[in-house]
Structure 1
């Protein structure tokens, strides 16, 4: 149980990091709290309707009441299976705008500008052959594919955006990030392609790699300021693994800060409340929690939608099509269309993102239910939220989840931006050709109801888009949790490499960026 490196978490960042370290000749122990699959259910793209909210695959976190949204509490899914959240997410592949990473560098994170990170985005993927090769990759482990099934309403949704003045974009992961386009997904041949399947699975027989599932890390073993290993709870016993060169936390924006705090790295006052010895005073661990707030608006249509497959006969037909040809409604990511736009002409950059799901569902006790009504879902979210939340320990027991305080609409600018997103949803729902088929926007107040009614609706209807970041913020200032080289400030041999390091949110879903962080981390940690 002695290795060069120990990587905690086999998700979007931990999997590429591990693969690249092994490729460089280092011995690596990769730890995953979840259990390996036998049936490989997560490889079926549509299976997320079953895996989300299921304790077998999902940490099933529940937030504290959010006073900025009328005391709302909600489930926050996070993957607890090899592949992490990349095994249960919507498989949407979007990298964020070039300006996002230039902003990171401007904030004091040298080497994280767009020109520096683009080679890692290209290195990690194999995109469809017709992509612009100056911006896309063709030799990486992760497959990024076009949709194998498109609902007719999705094309009409794109056309309505264009008719509303939004430019058509051939590739949102290309030279420009603005406009409307078909979604691309982390899928291959009609199967989900998780980070674990892409990067780790092909290397499992390498004698430099040891993968251990069902392994909950209790704490990092510190010798003074140096991380020398981890204590692991597995099958009722605690075992210790030693790292000659160091430990990397890639457990995600919830679990990485929790492990730092359990190991004595955090706010001294909070650690003291739970009897944890302070190793490094780092008050911002667990702070700076940023999420994309927005609306999931279900629209009832006058034509059949993806919900037609929710009936017993529809499910049988969809399953048969997928089994025979890996095509059809079960073979694709959740979103068919993505768009990035400026909510008003005064905005300097696109401040809103839109998705179209060609189906509608309801969440009940954290589980997803798809009715047989003809529904689609139009999603609008704020790209650059100014509101921040926090995470706090409930206990020194690693099995006890953190308390999550989202506060998604604390800043008035975020509320205003969501309201502008609602206005755009109404606009799209009345713009041909998509608007010709909209019967009703469900639960949305009529436009004539006025600002007060809209604000009341938004405060109750705004939800997180499940892109939590920032809880181990990267920076060059004294309050940053990690340095631009990803080393935990005040320690040796300890790094964090996952979405928790974001110093600022990006315009887009976070999976591709987390994978890029894992790729880059390997070069920073083991040059």
Structure 2
């Protein structure tokens, strides 16, 4: 079944897709937005604390198993990606961070385009931001994406910040300001008035849902890009058990994320010729870099037991859950207004003043679903996350099942420098746990155990517990797969606007950087229409 041509077809209704669709509609274009997941999530996802109920569920997440990792004793991990309108912004922990000035300046250097520099990208951040707690040159206060501090902070989090101060780690009240280093509260994409999630779907797409120029099709899996004479002319997708065909007037815009975007290109015959031929896929464009350069932040838990009653253990069940839920409904206050990840520290290592580690403070026992060995209890998890990894991975077509899941190799800690940095970061976390006032709250080490602090023991712990921080980027990078205007090189009518286009991962949670990249992408698209 053929569908009338739209000016633009956007594949993927996550953060980037929602923003770009809104900007194109505002400019008078017609847009067909195709999203594989459902149109909305469970109402609990609107609550700051609600996402935790869905972390280990495939209801709104698509799980990508990784290939076995030799450097991690052969472990296979899972990398989830959001699968609903709004994408990760509709189910993530809502952290609003941008990264370091040098991140964006490196994009400008790699592409030769000063429009990707930090100074040029800052207006994209501030224009979309509706910050209720911070203002000044680094922040916007009137934008559609609502940003605020959390409405609740656990006493254990406050103790973490005090212990950081005891070690000389400065308090940082604005990680998105002039300096990233230090310890402090993180801001989140939460509407402070309603204490409700501000997803990209709500912030950017919702005002245009009734616009006749916008067509949104959810539960639609795009199977192929359609090319004629080197130009993308439309897509084939499955919806409600039927294969449909949509034609495009201007461009197909890929916004499906750093795993799904390269996988769709590979299935469509755009990628490394040898890999495509092995999978019996006709080579329409030999693009050897498609799927390479995968980067992700990885993290390792350092878990301690706390005195009884401290932290968030047990607060999401039984009478406690009912009490907190009622308080939220009546006053928009209490633990429900917290994401459970309220503060972090950005820490340099060695002589480099740029922070290399993002150390999260989670006032409970937090383990990945692939890790076991600790019973639920009152606890604190400090999670060192490698903010500027050197390791690289890939997303490749599976020749045995090209239409199934791709072969995802995150390459976590493959570079020895990353492994050494993680080892040093765990020791830094231990120092914070041993500083007052946390040391008066902590009753013992759980993971690693009290006697497991030798280098060999730490290395075993790292290999056994390292996991994704849910930030894959880079698999269709500018300068490798696209030009500086995000147009796929060697293919007409195809542009990439999501995190896969980032040549280097920002040193922070990636939702805000993805939105800023998409904002500039929309600007570039509209400049081309003028």
Task: Choose from 440, 443, 454 the match for 2:458.
Answer: 454
> Are 2:117 and 1:113 aligned?
yes
Task: Choose from 190, 201, 223 the match for 2:228.
Answer: 223
> Are 2:180 and 1:177 aligned?
yes
- In the TM superposition, what is the alpha-carbon distance from 1:46 to its structure 2 partner? 2.5
CA RMSD of aligned residues (A): 2.0
The corresponding residue for 1:156 is 159
Distance change (3 Å), C-alpha of 1:85 and 1:399: farther
Q: What is the rounded CA distance, in whole Å, between the counterparts of 1:48 and 1:406 in structure 2? A: 24
SS at match of 1:410: coil
Cα deviation per residue 1:446-499 (whole Å; 9 max; x = unaligned)? 477522222222222222211111111111xxxx01111000110111001111
The corresponding residue for 2:383 is 379
Runs of 4+ in 1 over 4 A off after TM superposition: 368-372, 395-399, 445-449
- In the TM superposition, what is the alpha-carbon distance from 1:365 to its structure 2 partner? 6.1
SS at match of 1:59: strand
Q: What is the rounded CA distance, in whole Å, between the counterparts of 1:137 and 1:398 in structure 2? A: 44
Q: What is the rounded CA distance, in whole Å, between the counterparts of 1:287 and 1:29 in structure 2? A: 29
The corresponding residue for 1:279 is 284
TM-score of the pair, normalised by structure 1: 0.95
The corresponding residue for 1:520 is 520
C-alpha contact (below 8 Å) 2:452/2:458 kept by paired residues: no
Distance change (3 Å), C-alpha of 1:443 and 1:106: same
The corresponding residue for 1:264 is 269
Distance change (3 Å), C-alpha of 1:448 and 1:205: closer
Task: Choose from 296, 308, 312 the match for 1:306.
Answer: 312
The corresponding residue for 1:401 is 405
TM-score of the pair, normalised by structure 2: 0.94
Cα deviation per residue 1:169-225 (whole Å; 9 max; x = unaligned)? 121111221111111111112221111111101210112211110111011111121
Q: What is the rounded CA distance, in whole Å, between the counterparts of 1:253 and 1:108 in structure 2? A: 19
SS at match of 1:246: strand
SS at match of 2:447: coil
- In the TM superposition, what is the alpha-carbon distance from 1:42 to its structure 2 partner? 2.2
Cα deviation per residue 1:345-394 (whole Å; 9 max; x = unaligned)? x124111111111222344469x999752112211111111111111112
- Ranges in structure 2 where 5+ consecutive residues have no aligned partner: none
Cα deviation per residue 1:300-333 (whole Å; 9 max; x = unaligned)? 1115211130441222222222232333222222
SS at match of 2:313: helix
C-alpha contact (below 8 Å) 2:41/2:90 kept by paired residues: no
- In the TM superposition, what is the alpha-carbon distance from 1:121 to its structure 2 partner? 0.5
C-alpha contact (below 8 Å) 1:361/1:371 kept by paired residues: no
Q: What is the rounded CA distance, in whole Å, between the counterparts of 2:361 and 2:58 in structure 1? A: 28
State which drifts further: 462-471 or 389-398. Answer: 389-398
- Ranges in structure 1 where 5+ consecutive residues have no aligned partner: none
- In the TM superposition, what is the alpha-carbon distance from 1:509 to its structure 2 partner? 0.6
Q: What is the rounded CA distance, in whole Å, between the counterparts of 1:289 and 1:247 in structure 2? A: 23
C-alpha contact (below 8 Å) 1:191/1:326 kept by paired residues: no
